[in-house]
Amino acid sequence: MTEHAATATVYTASELIAIMAGRLLTDGQIVFAGVGIPLLAATLAQRVFAPKLTILFEGGVIGPFIKPGELPPSTNEQRCTRRANMVLPSTDVLLLLQRGYVDVGFMGGAQIDRFGNLNSSFIGPAEKPSIRLPGTGGGNDISSLTNMIVAMKHERRRFVERVDFVTSPGWIDGGDSRARRGLPTGGMWRVVTDLAVMGFDAETREMEVLALHPGVSFEQVQDNTGFRLRRARELAVTTPPQADELALIRELDPGRLYTA
């Protein structure tokens, strides 16, 4: 278990990622969230400062209430439907994406490249992959039509020059290539890791470090990345996780299924 210390507070890398990602959300948004860290982050935001945040699951659920200690292991699990506003067929929920009703897509991935393309399909060559991963689910639809937040551990094997397979498109080849490929809306917005918060340059669409977590240097982030990172002119430092945020995260996930 990786732990970080800030003053007298100790927290895991996954707790840090969930809290930093949750802070990016705002009240009134409609968020497509995957299970695990994305759901923890969205629920944290909803409980602390964004009570009108609406969570969607690709399984068809709109506006659920996540009961502490009973996090769903899948977006199709019955616990996803607790006190939900609606439960629709998956196709109807994905139609909301196409109509522009969803503000933010929130997910993780096995690999990400410098233009924010995500891979959750396989590692290695397509003809003979070394690892097979879960695949897209609704990931391609979500990343094609919303502003994306990605939450993941910062490791060189995950942050690669080019993903082995584009499961979920980010800025594709950079510049205006996303729009030229037929995706005029949405795009990769933020990447949150246990080291930093990244965005993307407005022109080149290359990944750019916007803020470092306390005690982390830019060189440390670069050393854990498989491509050259851009650096914001004014590099910020994030505020460490607060006691109330950590308490809620631990109440939601007491068994540390996602935050160990």
CA-to-CA distance for 235 and 67, rounded, in angstroms? 37
Nearest to 148, CA basis, from 33, 18, 26: 33
Using CA atoms, how far residue 199 sits from 54, 76, 183, in Å, is: 24, 31, 19
CA-to-CA distance for 253 and 173, rounded, in angstroms? 38
Catalytic residue flag (residue 58): yes
* Residue keyed to tokens 């292991």: 73
Catalytic residue from among 58, 206, 208, 245: 58
Tokens of 13: 């890398």
Tokens of 80: 């996803």
CA-to-CA distance for 115 and 207, rounded, in angstroms? 6
All residues at 6 or more sequence positions from 122 whose CB lies less than 8 Å from its CB, including other chains = 129, 131, 132, 133, 164, 165
DSSP state, residue 61 = E
Tokens of 95: 């139609």
Using CA atoms, how far residue 161 sits from 156, 164, 220, in Å, is: 10, 10, 17
Classify strands 30-33 and 122-123 as parallel, antiparallel or unpaired: unpaired
Tokens of 97: 């994406």
Chain length of the chain = 260
Where in the sequence numbering do the catalytic residues fall? Answer: 58
